A and B are shown apart, each in its own frame.
Chain A
Amino acid sequence: MLSALTQLLLCQLAGEVIARGIDLPVPGPVLGMLLLFLVLTLRGGPGHDLQTTSQTLLQHLSLLFVPAGTGIMVHLHRVADEWLALSISLLVSTLMTLLVTGLVMQLCAPRSTAPGENP
């Protein structure tokens, strides 16, 4: 677990350095993800340690959004002021994006498979 965490943090750090170094609008962790992807391609896959650690981390990805989400308590009044416009916008736009993206992709998809449980 220790070596896996170190590898992940190293990639994030490198991504952060690159993003700030050449002033990219993409955040460090996303660049770090690309870097790790390149490393995996060169190395032919993740080692056992990296595989299991990242699996554990991603299994509880939801947890990691809880502290930021709780920040909503600071903005309760601001959201309350414009709640109608904001909530209609978020709801309709998100449903529309799901629908439009899904349907457009299905139109140009090579073939459809339908195994297993779906989100």
Chain B
Amino acid sequence: MTPRINELWVYLSASPLLGLTITLLAYQGAFWIYRRSGNHPLANPVLIAVSVLVCFLLSTGTSYETYFAGAQFVHFLLGPATVALAIPLYTQLKRVKAMWLPVLVGLLVGSLSAALSAVAIGRLFGASLPSQLSLAPKSVTTPIAMGIAERIGGIPSLTAVLVIITGIIGAVAARYVFDAVRLHDPAIRGFAIGIASHGIGTARAFQVNEQSGAFAALAMGLNGALTALLVPLIARWIGLG
């Protein structure tokens, strides 16, 4: 690189501007591909944007900390966006009331199966104990999951990664799973996505169907609360935590 370009790069890589801009650029590109593919689940915008960004940062030797200094402005909006989920929930209140029994049963069964199966399968295939404990809250939205991992002796930052991968798997696979068993009710599909794959699944549900999105949001909130209560208890009972 010529000195001037080098100087420019030193400036850009130290300023939050670059991290913020490439996040928005990568996402817009990913979203364009997603729309062009007719909302195909495999063209998940989070998956594409993250892949592009990781390649870019690794190839330019930019550290995640430097990148995050800019990207944190986007990350911060997760809080208000979570609060905003109350609105579709309110709009769908009538349908939620009519569905209270399946919602309660689905929550309990789904929440338990998400945590227990993850730990059991991890153990079966020889994951280390800290990894098993990091797997337990994998279906819950990131901030709650990290708190749970910390409480039971997992690795919070590893949990954050497992949560994101889980979200992408759920968002990509849901359509095929439900179609295979002929499950068509958008409310039930949405709720199951929210339980299995938290906010990333919820984002996918909203892009496809407003009612699915509302039920996914409901599931995500309820599952977060229930898992935060249940997993530390279960970990203690079975002598893990």
CB within 8 Å of B: which residues of A? 5, 8-9, 11-12, 15, 25-30, 32-37, 40-41, 45-46, 50-51, 53-55, 57-75, 78-79, 82, 84-86, 88-110, 112-119
- Complex alpha-carbon distance, A82 and B133, angstroms: 14
Q: Do A33 and B117 touch across chains, with their CB atoms under 8 A apart?
A: no
Q: Do B81 and A101 touch across chains, with their CB atoms under 8 A apart?
A: no
B72 beta carbon closer than 8 Å to chain A:
yes
Q: Do B139 and A94 touch across chains, with their CB atoms under 8 A apart?
A: yes
User: Most chain-B CB neighbours within 10 Å: which of A75, A93, A109?
Assistant: A93
Residues in A whose Cβ lies below 8 Å from that of B168: 69
Q: Do B169 and A70 touch across chains, with their CB atoms under 8 A apart?
A: no
Residues in B whose Cβ lies below 8 Å from that of A113: 184-187
Q: Do B83 and A68 touch across chains, with their CB atoms under 8 A apart?
A: no
Residues of chain B in range 107-129 having any CB-CB distance to chain A below 8 Å: 109-110, 113-114, 117-119, 121-122, 125-128
**Interface flags, B53-88, vs A, CB<8A=1, else 0:** 110011000001001100110110111111111111
Closest to B57 in A: A73
Neighbour of A61 across the interface among B68, B158, B199, B224, CB < 8 A: B199
Q: Do B192 and A110 touch across chains, with their CB atoms under 8 A apart?
A: no
Q: Do A108 and B139 touch across chains, with their CB atoms under 8 A apart?
A: no
Q: What are 23 A-to-B residue pairs whose CB atoms are below 8 Å?
A: A27-B141, A29-B83, A30-B224, A32-B82, A34-B86, A46-B87, A58-B81, A58-B88, A62-B46, A64-B74, A65-B167, A66-B71, A70-B67, A73-B58, A82-B127, A82-B128, A85-B126, A93-B114, A101-B191, A101-B196, A104-B110, A106-B183, A119-B209
B147 beta carbon closer than 8 Å to chain A:
yes
Given known A86-B135, A101-B191, A102-B189, contact A70–B57 (CB-CB < 8 A): yes
On chain B, the number of residues with a Cβ less than 8 Å from chain A's Cβ atoms is 119
Nearest chain A CB to B122's CB is how many angstroms away? 4
Residues in B whose Cβ lies below 8 Å from that of A105: 102-103, 105-106, 188, 191-192
The 10 closest A-B pairs by CB, nearest first: A101-B110, A67-B71, A54-B84, A29-B82, A85-B125, A85-B127, A36-B86, A114-B184, A61-B203, A25-B228
Residues in B whose Cβ lies below 8 Å from that of A8: 80, 83-84
Q: A29-B80, A98-B174 are in contact. List 7 more A-B contacts (CB 8 A).
A: A30-B225, A62-B204, A71-B68, A86-B162, A98-B196, A101-B106, A102-B188
Given known A12-B80, A12-B83, A92-B117, contact A101–B195 (CB-CB < 8 A): yes
User: Most chain-A CB neighbours within 10 Å: which of B71, B84, B90, B225?
Assistant: B84
Closest to A46 in B: B87
Q: Do B102 and A62 touch across chains, with their CB atoms under 8 A apart?
A: no
- Complex alpha-carbon distance, A107 and B113, angstroms: 17
Nearest chain A CB to B37's CB is how many angstroms away? 14
B181 beta carbon closer than 8 Å to chain A:
yes
Q: Do B192 and A28 touch across chains, with their CB atoms under 8 A apart?
A: no
Closest to B210 in A: A116
B205 beta carbon closer than 8 Å to chain A:
yes
Given known A51-B87, A67-B71, A105-B102, contact A90–B209 (CB-CB < 8 A): no
